[in-house]
């Protein structure tokens, strides 16, 4: 949908792109109501580089805490051969030439396409304002959007063989950098900070969730609608564990299918049938499934992906005079049991340790989303549930 402005005496009308006015450094947009028609000036001080086909681009509105005008990053697909697929930049970058990319010939074509698409293809969202206009001053893009808004613009031909850019596939990767899609919640309530890109020429490297996982709005909802705005550590743990249970359910369905197939093959062999039926029954154990998930379906995780989490979980257990665990699945499962079933007994020291567990668990869960695999070689019946989980 297009952007809207408010005309005196309070009439809201859509605007459409007309032309760029070089002398005034503004974009002229047309409006028309029942009683009047005219032009709206939107400030645009950047140089016009009209060299791209807007139909080849897709834009998304993101929210980011502590966003400043110079947070302008090239966006790369983190594949074996990384390639630039777009840019991510704050809305303020369209209103100013004070940032480092005001003369960047690679950035300027993307900025101009983004400005045009913001005018004509802006999503319907309650956090987008409808400014009033007069004849004295041009409006600015920041009059329509909060300062914490960033624009993600994707060049669709660069993500071939995909035909479109499904944001839910990449939302976990954006979340790591502190960006979440603009939703219905006020951006001012955002808690999550994430990590800013680092390096001599910092870039946002996007990695999709595993192709073995269906694109699910559930994951996006948990990360961007719940965790990103939540201050209560117990609730954050609960939400993250829901993602783990989502993955464990995938494991259950895969294992069940494999075991049932094997059961049919040996249905005339009572000994082997009993073994398989016992394994099927074992799948109902959450403790076994979380170990199966981590050790078999996410086995490409590196120790560095969970060492900090294991250490913080063991610190939590130490406060309860519990044993130290070497297996991350067991340690995490025990924390889950204490928080879900004995929270009334959790000490103030354990509450403090929980605040250390949470950031480690966030990155651990996201790494599981990246690394989850249901390759047939990993779910063969001969691969038994690890002894440590029994």
94-139 confidence digits (pLDDT tens): 999 999 999 999 999 999 999 999 999 988 899 999 999 877 788 9
pLDDT single digits (tens) 70-98? 999 999 988 777 889 999 999 999 999 99
Q: Buried b vs exposed e over 197-232: b needs ≥16 C-beta within 10 Å?
A: beeeeebbbbbbbbeebeeeeebbbbbbbbbbbbee
pLDDT reported for residue 387: 43
Question: Cis peptide before 9, with omega less than 30 degrees from 0?
Answer: yes
Pairing of strands 73-77, 203-206: parallel
What is the rounded average pLDDT of the residues 213-221?
Answer: 89
The residues, any chain, with a CB within 8 Å of residue 266's CB and separated by 6 or more, are 272, 273, 276
- Compute how many other C-beta atoms are within 10 angstroms of the C-beta atom of residue 121: 14
Q: Residue 245: which of 358, 380, 365 has the closest Cα?
A: 365
pLDDT of residue 5 exceeding 60: yes
Residue 252: pLDDT above 90?
Answer: no
Per-chain mean pLDDT for the chain: 87
What's this model's pTM, rounded to 2 decimal places? 0.87
Phi, psi of 255 (to 5 degrees): -65, -40
pLDDT tens per residue, range 169-188: 999 999 999 999 999 999 99
CB under 8 A, 24+ apart: contacts of 376-380: 378/296, 378/297, 378/299, 379/254, 379/255, 379/258, 379/296, 380/258
Dist. CA 75–CA 205, nearest whole Å: 6
> Taking a C-beta distance cutoff of 8 angstroms, is the pair 359, 265 a contact?
no
385 contacts 288 by C-beta, under 8 angstroms: yes
* pLDDT, greater one: 384 or 219: 219
Poorest-confidence range of 9-18, 296-305, 333-342, 362-371? 296-305
Q: How confident is the model at residue 300 (pLDDT cuts 50, 70, 90)?
A: confident
Q: In what order do the strands lie in the sheet with 26-32?
A: 4-7, 11-21, 26-32, 37-43
- Between the CA of residue 347 and those of 88, 166, 287, 308, 351, what are the distances in Å? 43, 43, 24, 21, 6
What are the backbone dihedrals phi and psi of residue 25, each rounded to the nearest 5 degrees, phi first? Answer: 50, 55
- Burial of residue 304 (number of CB atoms within 10 Å: 0-12, 13-18, 19+): exposed
pLDDT band at 311 (very low <50, low <70, confident <90, very high): very high
What percent of the chain lies above the pLDDT cut of 90? 61
Range scoring the smallest mean pLDDT among 176-185, 273-282, 301-310: 273-282
Residue 202 confidence class, pLDDT cut points 50, 70, 90: very high
The residue assigned the tokens 């390639």 is 83
Q: Domain ranges for the chain, please list them.
A: 47-131+139-214, 233-389
Q: Is the pLDDT of residue 390 over 60?
A: no
């Amino acid at each position: 949908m297009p952007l809207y402005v408010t005309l005196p005496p309070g009439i809201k009308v859509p605007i459409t792109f007309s032309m760029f006015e070089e002398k005034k450094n503004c974009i002229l947009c047309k409006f028309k109501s029942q009683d009047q028609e005219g032009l709206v000036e939107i400030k645009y001080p950047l140089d016009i580089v009209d060299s791209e086909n807007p139909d080849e681009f897709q834009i998304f509105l993101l929210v980011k805490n502590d966003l400043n005008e110079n947070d302008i990053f090239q966006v790369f697909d983190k594949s074996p051969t990384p390639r630039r697929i777009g840019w991510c930049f704050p809305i303020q970058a369209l209103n100013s030439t004070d940032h480092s990319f005001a003369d960047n010939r690679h950035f300027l074509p993307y900025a101009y396409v983004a400005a045009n698409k913001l005018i004509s293809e802006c999503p319907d969202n309650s956090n987008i304002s409808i400014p009033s206009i007069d004849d004295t001053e041009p409006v600015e893009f920041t009059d329509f959007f909060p300062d914490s808004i960033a624009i993600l613009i994707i060049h669709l031909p660069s993500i071939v063989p995909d035909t479109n850019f499904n944001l839910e596939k990449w939302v976990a990767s954006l979340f790591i950098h502190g960006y979440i899609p603009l939703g219905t919640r006020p951006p001012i309530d955002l808690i999550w900070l994430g990590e800013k890109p680092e390096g001599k020429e910092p870039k946002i490297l996007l990695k999709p969730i595993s192709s073995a996982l269906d694109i699910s709005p559930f994951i996006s909802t948990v990360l961007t609608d719940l965790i990103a705005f939540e201050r209560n550590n117990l609730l954050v743990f609960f939400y993250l564990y829901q993602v783990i249970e989502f993955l464990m359910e995938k494991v259950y369905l895969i294992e069940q299918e494999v075991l049932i197939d094997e059961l049919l093959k040996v249905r005339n062999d009572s000994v082997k049938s009993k073994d398989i039926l016992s394994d099927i029954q074992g799948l109902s154990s959450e403790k076994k499934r979380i170990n199966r998930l981590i050790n078999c379906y996410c086995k490409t995780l590196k120790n560095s992906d969970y060492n900090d989490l294991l250490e913080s979980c063991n610190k939590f257990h130490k406060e309860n005079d519990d044993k130290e665990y070497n297996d991350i699945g067991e340690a995490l499962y025990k924390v889950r049991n204490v928080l879900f079933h004995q929270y009334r007994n959790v000490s103030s020291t354990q509450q403090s340790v929980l605040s250390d567990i949470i950031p480690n668990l966030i990155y651990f869960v996201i790494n599981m989303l990246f690394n989850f695999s249901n390759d047939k070689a990993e779910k063969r019946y001969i691969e038994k549930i690890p002894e440590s989980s029994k």
